[in-house]
Amino acid sequence: MMRFVPPLVLSLTLLAGCGGTSTVTPAEPAAVATAASPYANATGIDRGGFDTGVRPQDDFFAWVNGGWVERTAIPPDRTWWGVVPELRAASEERQRAIIEEMAARDDLPPGSVAAKVGAFFASLTEQRLVEGKGVAPIADTLARIDAIDSYAGLAAAFGAATLLGTDAPLAVGVVQDPGAGDRYVPYLWQSGLALPDREYYLREDAKFQRIRAAYPAYIARLLALGGFGGTPEQAAAVYAIEQRLAAAHWPAEENRDMKKLYNMVPTAELATVAPDFAWPQYVDAAGLDARPELMAAQLGYVRGIGAIVGAFPLAAWKDYLRYHALNEAAPWLSAEFERTQFEFMQREVMGLAELAPEWKRAVRAIDALVGEAVGQVYVDRHFPPAHKQAMLDLVANLMEAFRVGITELDWMSEETKRKAEAKRARLATKIGYPDKWRDYSGLEIRADDPLGNIARANAFEYRYQLAKLDQPIDRDEWEMTPQTVNAYHQPFMNEIVFPAGFLQPPNFNMAADPAVNYGAIGYVIGHEIGHAFDDKGRAFDPYGKLNDWWTAGDAEHFERTAARLVEQYNAFAPVEGMTINGNLTLGENIADLTGVTIAYRAYRASLGGREAPVIDGLTGDQRFFIGFAQANRAQLRDEMLRAMLVSDPHSPARYRVLGVLRNFTPFYTAFGVQEGDGMYLPPAERVRIW
């Protein structure tokens, strides 16, 4: 039920026009930092979050954040807490205020985008619309599954999965052609698992084993609630299908290699490349029958899909589709469905203690499905023009610092430096919000039909994506809503993007000491710039096209140095028996190291040769590094941490700080780190790439 973001497109910092001007009156912009904020002081530093029992030379993350970690409880409806989820909570409250105003007004023009958002919210927060009705709200989806009478019909159901409102073993997306850069192409992506990642089905970890042991009972319970039997045999068959799919899925680290993912296949030759599957029915139902070719991202997986389908009886596949339809819809069905899903998927799998309030879930769904309709009002209220200009100025400073850094590299040839500079010079920046807004005029929303609204919004988004296949590349499009607390690099567009929701204290605090701002938002800007030149981004040229612009010697040096970073992060063990996957997290780790490197260079340049004043006993350089560590403040539930270690390309927050600063020599100077200290690495072992 989430707005579709192609998984192969974005490198995240973390983890349709609205039809004219807004019909909700904007309020005054929110203050940059409230008096209650721990960051609302002359420096923007939360000294109360420190653990002064720890030396910064031994554990810098704990020194800056240990006090906060010790006294801060993760909210019961959250999997983690820290700077980013705090900002997300604030964004949700702001969105709620906007949406509830829309829902409360009776003078909005029928069919206006504000009326649609208000009706959507009203439908999702009125339990009487679904209570006592069982599966009736998704009867159409279930009827289409019931009608499947052949493997060809099953393939058609897979192709229509997005329109059905369910999951399937193959997902369809639309992306800018990595090999051409001037057109959109459809692509296939491995899918079909209800648990978070393939590793939940395969990894011999005690926690994952407990989840696997309990999972069939959950499958059976949902099927029984839906009126489809729910016998142990049915649940075992559905689970066996997912296990088989999981075994064929590529591991997360392999999905970072765009060269491996770029496999163009003529549509007419799919049956030759991947036999034993009803491709004509699939591509027709997916709306791809007129497309001459598509990209089969995980080609080995696609080649084997026919064998996987044929290994199970049609009845098992129909139960599989029913289960996925029920699992997707459960949060919006009657209380027994909602409670059943929460107890397993959220409490057992993710460790949540409480279900998020109804309004939060509704706000998140609206943000995912029609978020720009709310974003237009959000930026009017919460992102003044001065903030955008300040960010543009900061980005310019960081871009210049990166330019200087390229010229000073002692390991890179002049030929590759010229090409790196050409890419840097064309790296586009988007700040705050899009210049044009999505048009939702073709979306039908009814105040009495929550599941229908979700289904229609999903179908609307899917058709919007398909319609791009006949259009020129839209370089004004955003992959996130303005209220999103995140940022990203889009390699196919050669752009970096910073939504307004992310640009709040302590990430971006116009009232704070410049040193802290450079350490926080400067690092984030540098991080996104770094993604354009990390192990994945470096494969793309200035125009967003896969193109090897490196000399053989420079490429070899980069890969050799990156391998050292892999080894360093492989040695971090956040939980007993599990380490960070240095290959999976390599791109983010390179971006983190690059971000701090160029943010520090930009900060020092901003001083114009002078030394920053000492404030509260801290030098400017010390405040810079505190800003960086503070921006990565977070703690995670054990379940979330384990999930992150097997599927997330980011290292956990503590190791993002420790892993970077151990490699960054100016940090040693700022805090007097010496041999024998916990943060110390010998100079020969420190990694510098950009």
Domains in the chain, CATH or no CATH each = 50-78+379-436+470-685 (3.40.390.10), 152-333 (1.10.1380.10)
Q: How far apart are CA 484 and CA 12, in angstroms?
A: 12
Give the mean pLDDT of the chain. 92
C-alpha distances out from residue 70 to 86, 483, 635, Å: 17, 30, 10
Q: What is the mean pLDDT of residues 444-472?
A: 95
Instruction: State the alpha helices, DSSP H only, in 147-298.
Output: 151-159, 161-164, 199-202, 206-225, 232-248, 258-261, 270-273, 279-285
pLDDT tens string 316-334: 999 999 999 999 999 999 9
**pLDDT reported for residue 512:** 84
Give the residue, 166 or 378, on which the prediction is more confident. 378
pLDDT tens string 425-452: 999 999 999 999 999 999 999 999 999 9
Which SS3 state, helix, strand or coil, does residue 348 take? helix
Consecutive H or E run containing 620: helix 620-631
Q: What is the mean pLDDT of residues 336-359?
A: 97
CB contact burial 226-257 (16+ within 10 A = b; e otherwise) = bebebeeebbebbbebbbbbbebbbbbbebbe
**pLDDT reported for residue 424:** 97
Q: What is the mean pLDDT of residues 504-529?
A: 90
**pLDDT reported for residue 12:** 56
Judge whether residue 41 has pLDDT over 70. no
Give the residue, 2 or 230, on which the prediction is more confident. 230
- The number of angstroms, rounded, from the C-alpha of 14 to the middle of its chain's C-alpha atoms is 7
pLDDT band at residue 511 using 50, 70 and 90 as cut-offs: confident
**pLDDT reported for residue 676:** 97
pLDDT band at residue 615 using 50, 70 and 90 as cut-offs: very high
Give the predicted TM-score (pTM) of the model.
0.92
pLDDT tens string 138-166: 999 999 999 999 999 999 999 999 877 78
pLDDT tens string 99-127: 999 999 989 999 999 999 999 999 999 99
How many other CB atoms are there within 10 angstroms of residue 180's CB atom? 15
Q: How far apart are CA 173 and CA 580, in angstroms?
A: 29
Q: Provide the strand spans (E) within 526-685.
A: 634-636
Tokens at 588, concatenated: 């983010």
Judge whether residue 79 has pLDDT over 90. yes
Judge whether residue 32 has pLDDT over 80. no
Going by their DSSP bridges, the two strands 184-190 and 170-176 should be labelled as antiparallel
Q: What is the mean pLDDT of residues 612-636?
A: 96
Cβ neighbors of 572 (< 8 A, separation 6 or more) are 579, 580, 651, 655, 658, 659
**pLDDT reported for residue 7:** 58
Judge whether residue 597 has pLDDT over 50. yes
**pLDDT reported for residue 4:** 46
C-alpha distances out from residue 674 to 54, 235, 569, 671, 678, Å: 16, 58, 21, 9, 9
**pLDDT reported for residue 43:** 80
Judge whether residue 23 has pLDDT over 50. no
